[in-house]
Chain A
Amino acid sequence: MNKFKFTLIAGIVASVCSSQAVTIDFDSAAYAIPSGQIAADANGVDGWESDAFLGFVVPTPGIGSGQALGFGPKYVLPSSATETIKRDVNIALTGNSTGTHIPASGLFTADVLVNASSNASGNDVFGISLYGNAGSETISFTFDPGNTVSGLAGNLGVNGIANAYYNSEYQFKVAFSGDDGAFQTYAASLVDGNGGSFTQYGQLTSTSISSIGLTYALADSSAAMSTASDAFITMDNVSFSASIPEPSVSLLSMLGAGLLVLRRRR
Chain B
Amino acid sequence: MFKGRQNAKKNYNNMLILYKKKLMNKIFSGLLCLFALTAISELKAQTFRTFQTTTEEITYTNRTLADGSTVVETVIETVVVDLTPNPVTAESTVSTDTKEETLFLTSAAATALQTAISNAGSGASAISTTVAAEVDDDDKIKDSNGAVVSSVTYVEVVNGTPTFTTVDDTTVETNDVVTTERAEFTTIVEEVKAIVSQN
Binding site for B on A (CB under 8 A): 36-40, 52-53, 56, 58-63, 73, 75-77, 113, 115, 118-120, 149, 152-154, 158, 161-165, 167-170, 190-194, 196-198, 230, 234
Which DSSP category, helix, strand, loop or mixed, fits chain A's interface?
A: loop
Q: How far is the CB of A198 from chain B (nearest CB, A)?
A: 5
Q: Is there contact, CB below 8 Å, between B190 and A168?
A: yes
Interface footprint category on B: 20 to 34
Q: Is there contact, CB below 8 Å, between B189 and A167?
A: yes
B47 within 8 A of A: yes
With A37-B87, A62-B187, A168-B190 in contact, do A52 and B195 touch (Cβ < 8 Å)? no
With A38-B87, A167-B190, A234-B188 in contact, do A73 and B49 touch (Cβ < 8 Å)? yes
Q: Is there contact, CB below 8 Å, between B51 and A119?
A: yes
B2 within 8 A of A: no
The list of the 8 closest CB pairs from A to B, nearest first, reads A62-B188, A162-B197, A193-B192, A119-B51, A165-B193, A168-B193, A38-B87, A39-B87
| 26 A-B residue pairs with CB within 8 Å | A36-B90, A37-B87, A37-B88, A37-B89, A38-B183, A38-B185, A52-B46, A53-B46, A53-B87, A60-B187, A61-B187, A62-B190, A63-B188, A75-B49, A75-B85, A76-B48, A152-B196, A152-B198, A158-B197, A161-B197, A162-B197, A165-B193, A167-B190, A192-B195, A198-B195, A198-B197
Which DSSP category, helix, strand, loop or mixed, fits chain B's interface?
A: loop
What are the residues of chain B within 8 A of A234 when measuring CB–CB?
188
* C-alpha spacing A159/B136, complex, angstroms: 52
Q: How far is the CB of B181 from chain A (nearest CB, A)?
A: 12
With A75-B85, A169-B192 in contact, do A230 and B51 touch (Cβ < 8 Å)? yes
What are the residues of chain A within 8 A of B193 when measuring CB–CB?
154, 164-165, 168, 192-193
Q: Is there contact, CB below 8 Å, between B183 and A113?
A: no
Q: Which of B195, B196, B199 has the most CB atoms of chain A within a 10 A radius of its CB?
A: B195
B176 within 8 A of A: no
Q: Is there contact, CB below 8 Å, between B183 and A75?
A: no
The 8 Å CB contact of B185, one of A59, A119, A158, A167, is A59
Q: Assuming A38-B183, A56-B87, A119-B85, what are 12 further A-B pairs, CB within 8 angstroms?
A: A53-B48, A59-B185, A62-B188, A76-B46, A76-B49, A115-B188, A149-B196, A154-B195, A163-B196, A169-B192, A198-B197, A234-B188
B184 within 8 A of A: yes
With A37-B87, A39-B87, A52-B46 in contact, do A149 and B192 touch (Cβ < 8 Å)? no
